[in-house]
Amino acid sequence: MPKVYLRTFGCQMNERDSEQVAQMFVDRGFTVTTEAGEADVVLLNSCSVRDQAEQKALGNMRQLGKHRKTRPNLVFGMMGCMAQSRGEQLFEEVPHLDLVVGTQKYHRVVDHCVELMRAKDEAQMDDLRIPIVDIGEEKDSQNTIRDHLTKEHGVSEFVSIMQGCNMKCTFCIVPYTRGPERGRPISDIVEECRRLVDRGVREVTLLGQIVNLYGRHEFPKADGKSPFVQLLEAVHEIDGLHRIRFTSPHPIGYKEDVIEAFTYLPKLVDHVHFPMQSGSDRILRAMHRPYKAAKFLEICARMKEARPGIAISTDIIVGFPGETEEDYLETKKAVELVQFDQAFVFRYSPRKDTPAANLPDQLPERVKEERNQDLLALVDSIVERKHHEQVGTVQEVLCEGPSRYNAARLTGRTRTNRIVIFDGDPQRMAGHLLDVRIQESTGYTLYGDPVMNEDGASLAGPPSALQMADSVRI
């Protein structure tokens, strides 16, 4: 039985795409392996958001080339955003590469790999290379990402609801690597979620490059509700599904109906990842982010009114071309005002063929690093304080199974997306909602004990609409 090794770099969209590709290999009789040295096919799913991510993928692929010495017919392939943007150029950068597949051709990967394996076998030549490049556009490619690789404790899964982006922020390469917005039909997404629930999944995360703009070109509004809110309502109706997350929204699509959805859809978790990017209006304009900082802050305030206790996380770029000390302090001020529950802070990284790469006043790396470390220190202090405030409280935790770093303990997430580590039986608790009393906080991780009832069980249920109505107002 042939084996495939698949490693993913980058965002949740890449993780979801890799899962689809892995399942297609399994359907064709392959076994997925974690050891590249025993594989017949080695694939990397790449990211282009930052130069560091590209260099990491390239370095890993070059290092993996050593396995061709013992397995001369091994097929090497690169998928994803870097594959899309660099195309044939990757064959020059990685001499042993056989396959380059773009973001709209994931459903073709297995066919290409089987073709290459067959050609190498029939030729009976060591290190035969027949390079294949497949990076063209394909109509309805968004509808090909629908299968999931079965996992032992598949409690939470990503569901891709759309592909592409039309916003074209000046720092971002994604619109050029993933193409324009294309949404899947609501019925197809709901059916995929139902199949996942039938397999034991209890939480889904709806994925889109700008998720709250889902379907705006394909589907009409209904009763004043956007296609995205219509989708949330439809997924919410699935029996057996406990939680719904989505990522990542954009302020331009964060309308009244999205905010209001948090007042009547209790399965929507108490967490939103909401990229701000900058707190300076001048920098937001340069980024081609069509909102002002005040609008972003207003939406955050409205979300906190609609769902008391909601956690808000964000993405922030420091060191964008032309960013002055005053601009940076505006960003820092916004972080202090919102009190984000988590923030991913990135130094600006010029990306090939993006408008920002050609802007004047590119900042030196020293300044970027200073601002990055300064803002991270502020974020860390806020996050640590908020986590310590959880000690002594009882939190609803969805148990995901054994902890990644300590298999003897269990892990799960609160409705506010905080990681909790606790003791218990994975066979009995995985996939269940548990009441856990938080006993300790160490920075970004909480530790606790399940709260047992009279029967010795610790199983909470999903909150009812009535419970939500008692605590949520807009």
In this structure, is residue 139 part of a structural domain? Answer: no
Instruction: Mark which of 84, 105, 134 sits at the end of a domain.
Output: 134
Q: What pLDDT score was predicted for residue 148?
A: 83
In this structure, is residue 46 part of a structural domain? Answer: yes
Of the candidates 15, 9, 13, 68, the one whose C-alpha atom is nearest the C-alpha of residue 41 is 68
Lowest pLDDT segment from 294-298, 300-304, 349-353: 349-353
CATH code at 339?
Answer: 3.30.750.200
CATH code at 467?
Answer: 2.40.50.140
Q: What pLDDT score was predicted for residue 154?
A: 87
pLDDT (tens digit per residue) in 83-117: 999 999 999 999 999 999 999 999 999 999 999 99
Q: What pLDDT score was predicted for residue 121?
A: 83
| Residue 216 in this model has a pLDDT that exceeds 80 | yes
User: Do residues 104 and 167 share a domain?
Assistant: no
| Residue 474 in this model has a pLDDT that exceeds 50 | no
pLDDT-derived band at 352, boundaries 50, 70, 90: confident
User: Do residues 355 and 275 share a domain?
Assistant: yes
User: Do residues 224 and 123 share a domain?
Assistant: no
Q: What pLDDT score was predicted for residue 463?
A: 43
Q: How many domains does the chain have?
A: 4
Q: What pLDDT score was predicted for residue 453?
A: 62
Q: What pLDDT score was predicted for residue 124?
A: 65
| Residue 222 in this model has a pLDDT that exceeds 60 | yes
In this structure, is residue 399 part of a structural domain? Answer: yes
Of the candidates 220, 132, 141, 134, the one whose C-alpha atom is nearest the C-alpha of residue 179 is 141
Q: What pLDDT score was predicted for residue 221?
A: 95
User: Do residues 40 and 58 share a domain?
Assistant: yes
User: Do residues 282 and 365 share a domain?
Assistant: yes
Q: What pLDDT score was predicted for residue 139?
A: 85
Lowest pLDDT segment from 150-159, 166-175, 200-209, 273-282: 150-159
pTM of the model: 0.89
Residue 464 token pair: 């009812």
In this structure, is residue 330 part of a structural domain? Answer: yes
User: Do residues 161 and 239 share a domain?
Assistant: yes
User: Do residues 274 and 367 share a domain?
Assistant: yes
Would you say 25 and 4 are in contact if contact means Cβ atoms under 8 Å apart? yes
User: Do residues 424 and 367 share a domain?
Assistant: no
Instruction: Mark which of 332, 367, 388 sits at the end of a domain.
Output: 388
Q: What pLDDT score was predicted for residue 194?
A: 97
| Residue 468 in this model has a pLDDT that exceeds 90 | no
Mean pLDDT of the chain: 92
Domain extent at residue 375: 270-388
Q: What pLDDT score was predicted for residue 325?
A: 98
pLDDT (tens digit per residue) in 1-49: 899 999 999 889 899 999 999 999 999 999 999 999 999 999 999 998 8
pLDDT (tens digit per residue) in 449-467: 999 764 545 555 444 333 3
In this structure, is residue 39 part of a structural domain? Answer: yes
pLDDT (tens digit per residue) in 396-429: 999 999 998 898 999 999 999 999 999 999 989 9
In this structure, is residue 453 part of a structural domain? Answer: yes
CATH code at 11?
Answer: 3.40.50.12160
In this structure, is residue 259 part of a structural domain? Answer: no
User: Do residues 220 and 332 share a domain?
Assistant: no
Of the candidates 396, 411, 400, 412, the one whose C-alpha atom is nearest the C-alpha of residue 461 is 396
User: Do residues 32 and 120 share a domain?
Assistant: yes
- End-to-end Cα distance, the chain: 57
| Residue 282 in this model has a pLDDT that exceeds 90 | yes
In this structure, is residue 86 part of a structural domain? Answer: yes
User: Do residues 379 and 405 share a domain?
Assistant: no
CATH code at 244?
Answer: 3.30.750.210
Would you say 345 and 302 are in contact if contact means Cβ atoms under 8 Å apart? no
Query: What mean pLDDT comes out for the span 75-84?
Result: 95
User: Do residues 114 and 12 share a domain?
Assistant: yes
| Residue 128 in this model has a pLDDT that exceeds 70 | no
Instruction: Mark which of 196, 221, 250 sits at the end of a domain.
Output: 250
Q: What pLDDT score was predicted for residue 459?
A: 54
